[in-house]
A and B are shown apart, each in its own frame.
Chain A
Amino acid sequence: MNLDQFWVDLAAVLASASPLILATLGETITERAGVINLSLDGTMLLAAMVGFAVGFQSQNVGLGLLAAALVGGFIGLILGFLSLSLRQSQTAVGFVLALLCTDLSSFLGNAYVRVPGVAVPSMPIPFLKDLPILGKLFFHHDLIVYSSFILTPALSWFLFQTRNGLILRALGEQPTAAFARGINVIQYRYFYTILGGMLVGLAGAAYSLDLKQGWSHRHIAGMGWIALAIVIFGAWQPWRVAFGCYLFSALQVLASRSQSLWPSVPTQVFQVAPFALMLGFLVLVNLSNKPPSTPREAQISLRWLSLAKLMLLMQGLLHSLAASPPAALGKPFYNDEP
C-alpha cells in the first residue's frame, strides 16, 4: 500500500465515522442524564428515511436534515413519556421502539428505495484545504463531517466546564442530590432525551443525505446497535466515544481492503466482521473493570518472565480503559418520592 492511498483511506475513516459520532454523542448526552435510549437502530433508520423523503420532495437538504432531527426528537419524547411519566422499563420501551421504527421505515419508505435525491454538498475550506496532508485529511469534507469534528470537543467542554454540564452529569449520577438542589429531574431528563434523540435523528440523515446518498430497506441496520455499544466502550466520555467511532470506521475500511487478501472468504463475511470485532473490544474494556491479579503461572519460571511482563502490560493498558456508567443510568426517579 502506498502512502497516498493511506491518507485517502484515513480521510475516508474520518468522514465515514461522522454519522456514528452524531449518534453516539447524542446517546452519551441522554445516558449522562440517566436515560437509556435503546431505540437507536430504529430511530436512525426512520430518520434516515424521513430525512431523505423530505429532502427529495422539497429539493432542500436543510429541510431534510431538520425533519430527521425532529423525528429523532419525537422518538425521544415518546421514550420519555413512557419511561419518565408512565414509569415503564426504559429497556422495554426502547427495544419496542427500535423494532417498530425499523418496520415503519421499511413500510413508509417504499417509494424512495434507490431513487436519486438531494445530498449535502461538499465544502472544502479555502486556504486550509491546500495544507499538505492536513488539508486532505480534515478540510476536504462537508458540513456534517465538520460538525462531527466540532461536536466532540464542544460536548466535552459542556460536560466538564459548564454549570449546565455539571447539572447534566448530576442527573445521571446523583438525581436525588440534584432534586434536593431544586432541579426538576424529570423535566431535565425529558429535555436531554429529546436533544440526544435529535442528534441520533441527524445521524440517520447523515447516512441517507450524505454518506450513502440514498435510501433502501434497512440499509443501515446494525449501526444503531453498534452506536450503543460504542457509548459503553467510550465510557460516556466524549473523546473516548469519538475514538470508538473512528476505530469502528477504521475496522470497516480495513475489512473492505482485506477482501482482496483472502479471496476465499466471501465478501459478506467482511461486512459483518467489524460489528463482531467492535463488540469484542467492548468485552476487553469490560474485562479491565475487574481488579488486576498477578498471573500465578507467570511466577513459576524465568522462561515465562517476558510473557508475565506482557500480560501485566496488557492488564495495565486494560485497567487504564476501565469504565463505569453513570450511577443512576436506567434507574427510575420520581419527583414526588425522592
Chain B
Amino acid sequence: MQKMRFSSLAVQNFLLTTAGTLFFTTLILLISGISPLAVYQLLFFGAFSSPSKIADLLMLAAPLLLCAAGLTLTFAAGLYNLGIEGQLTLGAIFAMLPLRLWPDLPPPLLWVLAFLAGALGGSLWAASTASLKIYAQVNEIFAGLGMNFLAMGIALYLVFGPWQRIGTASMSGTEPLPNELWLPTLPNLRLAPLAPLLALSALGIVWFLLAHTKWGISVRATGLNPIAAENLGVPTNLRLFETLFGCGILAGIAGAIQILGVFHGLIPNVSSGIGLLALLIVLLVQAQPTWLLPIVLLFASFAIGSVQLPLALNVDSNISGVLQGSLVLFALMARGIQERRQKKH
C-alpha cells in the first residue's frame, strides 16, 4: 500500500513537471512567433537522427556525466560547487602541459599523462576552494566563482599570449594538436569510446562510495546536518575537503577529454558551460546516482538537438537551455507542492 502510494505520487510529480515545462517552453516559443512542433521535433529527436549525431551526443554526455558524478559527491556533502567550471578549465589547461612539453613521447603514454595532469589541475583548483571554505569561511559558491574567474583569466592569457596560434591569436584557440595525439575514435565518427567509458566508471565509483561505504554515510551525514555529524565524531571539514577534491579530479578529467577528444586544443571557453549544466542536473535528481545517467543523456540530447535549430529553422539554440532550466524549476515546484500536500494529510 505504502509502495503504491509512493509510485502514484512519483507519477503525479512527473506529470506536473513535464506539463509545466512544456507549457512554459511552448509559451516562450509562441511569444517569439515560432511554431513549437518543428522545434520540439529537433530538440527531442534531433540528437538520434544519425550515427554522427549520436556520436556527438555521447561526446557531450561523457564530460557532463563526469562533472555530474563529481557534483553528486559535493552535493551529498551539502556543497554547491559552482567552481566546477574553473576546475574543468584548469583540468584542460593542465592536460595541455604534457602534450606541449613532450610531444615526442608515445601517444598512449601522453594520454595517460594528460589525464593525470588534468585530474591534478582540477583537484588543485577544488582544493583551493575547499581551503577558502574551511580556513577563511568563504562560502563555496563565491570561492568557486572567484576561482572560475581566475581560471578564465589564465585560459585567456595562454590562448592570446604564450600559446597563441602562430600568426594570429583568436578565440578559436591554440594551434590544433597533431592528429596522432587525438584520442582514437570509431571509424568516420567523432566518438572516442574511451571518454564515455571513463565517465561510466566514474559514475560507478561515486555510486559505490556513496551507497555502500561508511565514508559515504558520513558524507551524507555531513550534508544533512553538519553539527550533529560533528558531534557524532564525523570529521566534517575533512569530508568537505575530500568531496570537493574528488569532484575536482573528475572535473579535471572532463577537461582533459575536452582537450584530447573534443576541441583538440585549448580554447578560452573550453568548459562550454558543461559544469553549470551538470549542476542543474544534480539539482534535478537531488544527488541520487541512479538517476544521473538517464538525465545526463536527456539533457545532452536537448543540447545536441538544438545545435541544428539555427540552420534548419532559424531558431536560436538557447531554447535548449530554457527547456533544461524550466524542467528543473518545475521539478522543484512539483516537489514543493507534493511535500505540502503530504503535510496536510
> Are B136's CB and A286's CB within 8 A?
yes
A117–chain B nearest beta-carbon distance, Å: 19
Q: Are B280 and A96 in contact (CB under 8 A)?
A: yes
Asked whether A279 is an interface residue with its Cβ less than 8 Å from the other chain, the reply is: yes
- B142's partner among A99, A272, A279 (CB-CB below 8 A) is A279
Q: Determine whether B232 belongs to the interface, using a CB cutoff of 8 Å to chain A.
A: no
Task: Determine if B335 is an interface residue (Cβ-Cβ < 8 Å).
Answer: yes
Residues from chain A with Cβ under 8 Å of B324 in the complex: 99, 103
Residue from B137, B143, B149, B160 within 8 A of A275 (CB atoms): B149
Asked if B298 is at the interface (CB within 8 A of a chain A CB), the reply is no
Given A93-B329, A279-B149, residue A266 in contact with residue B169 (CB < 8 A): yes
Report how far A279 CA is from B86 CA in the complex, Å.
14
Interface residues on B, range: 35 or more
Tell me if B333 counts as interface (CB < 8 A to partner A). Answer: yes
Please state if A104 and B28 are interface contacts (CB–CB under 8 Å).
yes
Q: Are B153 and A96 in contact (CB under 8 A)?
A: no
Q: Given the known A-B contacts A100-B326, A287-B136, are A86 and B316 also in contact in the complex, defined by CB atoms under 8 Å? A: no
Would you list which residues of chain B between 309 and 331 have a CB under 8 Å from chain A?
316, 318-319, 321-322, 324-326, 328-329
Q: How far is the CB of A113 from chain B (nearest CB, A)?
A: 10
- Contact between chains at A95 and B142 (CB < 8 Å): no
* A310 within 8 A of partner (CB): no
Binds A, one of B52-60, B213-221, B241-249, B336-344: B336-344
Is the CB of A276 closer than 8 A to any CB of chain B?
yes
Task: Pick from A86, A97, A103, A280 the residue with the most CB of B within 10 Å.
Answer: A103
Counting CB contacts under 8 A, is A110 at the interface? yes
Cα distance A213–B152 in the bound complex, in angstroms: 26
Q: How far is the CA of A225 from the CA of B146 in the complex (A)?
A: 10
Q: Within B133-189, which residues are at the interface with A (CB < 8 Å)?
A: 136-139, 141-143, 145-146, 149-150, 152-153, 156-157, 160-161, 169
Q: How far, in angstroms, from A142 to B63 measured CA to CA in the complex?
A: 48
Complex contact B332–A102 (CB within 8 A): no
Distance (Å) between the CB of B106 and the closest chain A CB? 34
Cα–Cα, bound, A12→B142 (Å): 27
Q: Which of A100, A273, A282 has the most CB of B within 10 A?
A: A100
- With A95-B80, A97-B329, A282-B138 in contact, do A103 and B152 touch (Cβ < 8 Å)? no
Query: Is residue B255 within 8 Å, beta carbon to beta carbon, of the partner chain?
Result: no
- A106 touching B318, Cβ below 8 Å: yes
Say yes or no: is A161 at the interface (Cβ < 8 Å to chain B).
no
Q: Which residues of chain A come closer than 8 Å to B141, judged between CB atoms?
A: 38, 91
Contacting pair B332 A99 (CB below 8 A): no
In the complex, are the beta carbons of A276 and B332 less than 8 A apart?
no
- Partner pick for B157 among A86, A96, A225, A269, CB 8 A cutoff: A269
Contact status of A283 and B340, CB under 8 A, knowing A86-B333, A100-B322: no
Interface residue ranges of B261-314 to A (CB < 8 Å)? 268, 276, 279-280, 283
Report how far A108 CA is from B318 CA in the complex, Å: 9
Known: A268-B160, A269-B156, A272-B156. A95 touches B145 (CB 8 A): no
Residues of A within 8 A of B337 (CB): 86
B284 to chain A, nearest CB (A): 9
CA–CA, A88 and B337, complex, Å:
10
Docked CA distance A276–B80 (Å) = 19
A-B pairs, top 10 by smallest CB distance, nearest first, are: A86-B336, A279-B146, A100-B325, A103-B321, A266-B160, A275-B149, A106-B318, A107-B318, A272-B153, A268-B156
Tell me the A residues contacting B by CB distance below 8 Å. Answer: 38, 78, 82, 85-88, 91-93, 95-97, 99-100, 102-104, 106-108, 110, 222, 225, 228-229, 232, 264-266, 268-269, 272-273, 275-276, 279-280, 282-283, 286-287, 289-290
A-B contact pairs, 20 of them (CB 8 A): A86-B335, A86-B339, A87-B340, A88-B333, A88-B335, A91-B141, A96-B283, A96-B329, A97-B329, A104-B28, A106-B316, A107-B28, A107-B322, A108-B28, A265-B157, A265-B161, A268-B160, A275-B149, A279-B145, A282-B146
